[in-house]
Structure 1
């Protein structure tokens, strides 16, 4: 199988690509075959002439940036999050290349966080410079990187969030070129979940396989001979992972992982093919995406799940069949977590005596119990659930 991967990687280097004009900006990777350096990335972004916004600063002082391609008022918004893990560079290179070729005038706004972990990229580490795994921080928001991402999602309300990663084969059974997965968390609305799975199975899969790549569901070992599933090893419903957080925030979520045993060019091209799948999905399903997004934002009732996934039944103790009206935070608790609630776009109301109440009847309903209920897996704070909400001035 490794021989096949090597053969496909070599073949990918022979595939003709559109010639670039002599004056066309190029990434460091395109020029040298080595991963684009920090300085090359900044020079490249300047040369593109696209709107670049600094959305945060890392612990080591590097900028976290958002690049926009297309109108800021387009009908659909797609967010690409590139290389949250600093030792997974192929996704970043694909994002840098793809933003150059997208139409600058269309009815889709494409947003890129081209280097979602700048410190980790320089250090070649999975986590950031503080050792935080950013892709396990999208609820608690301990890192500057995750906080910047939360603000972008809150302010832009993307319809699709495409998260680019790489994996290292951990056994002879984890051998696909490209793996993909949708939000598995049970609190994701049914329409968003269904369309997210469609994005993975019906768009990303055929796009990468048409280019000669093998692909499959992330987190499942397969027999290298028969191609049949062997066992589930990853891909749970943890809400703190971006693909799940995306679904909880009403976006179609997608994780794409490329096999890092392939040649660098093969890995980058694999990600480019997956990006094409997402572009096709948005083009073909605009109305359905809008409807699913709106339906998800309108949910105000139903159970809350503190465990389980779409492929794993929750324990009965993890199902809150009758959720509370809201959660009351003391003044001290609110001072502790108010910034995080604001970054998540969660509304609270003032109560007499200095307490705050977070009502469940708001767009962030699916997220609130996971952040504030003691029964959740690592909540921000354990607030007091209440059966009745007292209205007060909105925050």
Structure 2
């Protein structure tokens, strides 16, 4: 894969973060003042929370906290539950409230062998459910929090990257072949979260690629400019500075850096593929962010005691969430303006659609549809191939007998050619472009 690398500068670090929810979630390894503790906390990081312990924690929080609700939103191939936690100020937020206010969706452990994000999510759910301080209540009054605590339960049970079929869920956010990706697509369609925060882990390559936490925004060129800017701000002015203030090192995901100068050496990951969640989020007009904590033990203490390594991984995830919540509290108006404007811009049906490239890798002429058709016509066979997936994405379709017509003039304008144009690497089916609407 080719990269024409350039350094991306996203501005200076902000000054001290204001005290809105900046007390943040309690450290994962500290005892919660109220509510159940995770298996990870009970063992002081010696082991990860089991599925049974997760279910007990969520069920108890659902019973005891009026502001939280746990919904079963799907099942894996092996029958494990896929769950959505909804958290509001006085009661769980409805889909309508989420759609019409500031909101964040936390996606935890899409890769089953990357458990630290799941631990951070579980303790955060607990802390938000049981918090009694005014700052948390004010935060939740203005921001709805959605959490998928374990996005890949079968993979977590087996400690594998993929699901029970070996599929990498984070490469399935366009095709939607897996139950897990289909469930996430349905949540994003129904709730339209303004921010999608995706928690992962990575293996280090010292000395070029070994920071405690890496982050990356949507690089896909179909991401609206204002949404792209807010995602960059979330990463570079909130998440990374807060993590560094907590004593951890940070970097940009996918970029090797010279250990002496800090200058970029090469890009090894983090491109603009639309099928990856942080990019899918941008194409769907949400502020997406990927965060990755380092699994590799580098200090002697971490090598001697895996619990030390585990605690560092979870604590750095929690520090990243603290920065994200500060972003949501301080930039609520800007976030909502960016995402709403991006959705409305689709109705104008103007501008190119990009089939390749990234914000640091300009698209070639062949990767740009400079003058997109006004829509795509699907015959009966093509609609049978792609109809369910179009509905899960939230693409608006006009039925025409056994087939359908899909106009570009809609909020998900840029997504339509990615799914239906034969030139797209991720097309669901090949539909016929039409210039007559």
Question: TM above 0.5, one fold?
Answer: yes
Counterparts of 1:76 and 1:354, CA distance in 2: 39
Aligned to 1:381: 429
Aligned to 2:217: 182
Counterparts of 1:170 and 1:140, CA distance in 2: 31
Counterparts of 2:436 and 2:60, CA distance in 1: 56
Aligned to 2:352: 303
Aligned to 1:264: 310
Aligned to 1:98: 124
Note the residue ranges of structure 1 that are not aligned, 5 or more in a row. Answer: 1-14, 390-395
Contact persistence 2:28–2:41 (CA under 8 A): no
Q: Residue 132 and residue 17 in structure 1: after superposition, are their counterparts in 2 closer, same or farther (change >3 A)? A: closer
Aligned-residue Cα RMSD (Å) equals: 1.5
Aligned to 2:196: 161
Aligned to 2:369: 320
Q: Map 1:1-395 onto structure 2 (within 5 A).
A: 19-21=31-33, 24-32=35-43, 33=45, 34-49=47-62, 50-70=68-88, 71-72=92-93, 73=97, 75-102=101-128, 103=136, 105-262=140-297, 263-299=309-345, 300-351=349-400, 353-389=401-437
Q: CA deviation at 1:169?
A: 1.2
Give the stretch that moved more between structures: 47-56 or 96-105. 96-105
Contact persistence 1:175–1:224 (CA under 8 A): no
Q: Residue 24 and residue 317 in structure 1: after superposition, are their counterparts in 2 closer, same or farther (change >3 A)? A: same
Contact persistence 1:91–1:271 (CA under 8 A): yes
Note the residue ranges of structure 2 that are not aligned, 5 or more in a row. Answer: 1-26, 63-67, 129-135, 298-308
Q: List, as ranges, runs of 4+ consecutive aligned residues in structure 1 with deviation greater than 4 Å.
A: 15-19
> Which structure has the higher relative contact order (CA within 8 Å, separation 6+)?
2
TM-score (norm 2): 0.83
Q: Residue deviations 1:153-195, cap 9 Å, x none?
A: 0000000000000000145311111100000000010010011
Contact persistence 1:79–1:111 (CA under 8 A): yes
Counterparts of 1:122 and 1:170, CA distance in 2: 27
Counterparts of 2:177 and 2:31, CA distance in 1: 44
Contact persistence 1:348–1:356 (CA under 8 A): yes
Q: CA deviation at 1:225?
A: 2.9
Q: CA deviation at 1:378?
A: 2.5
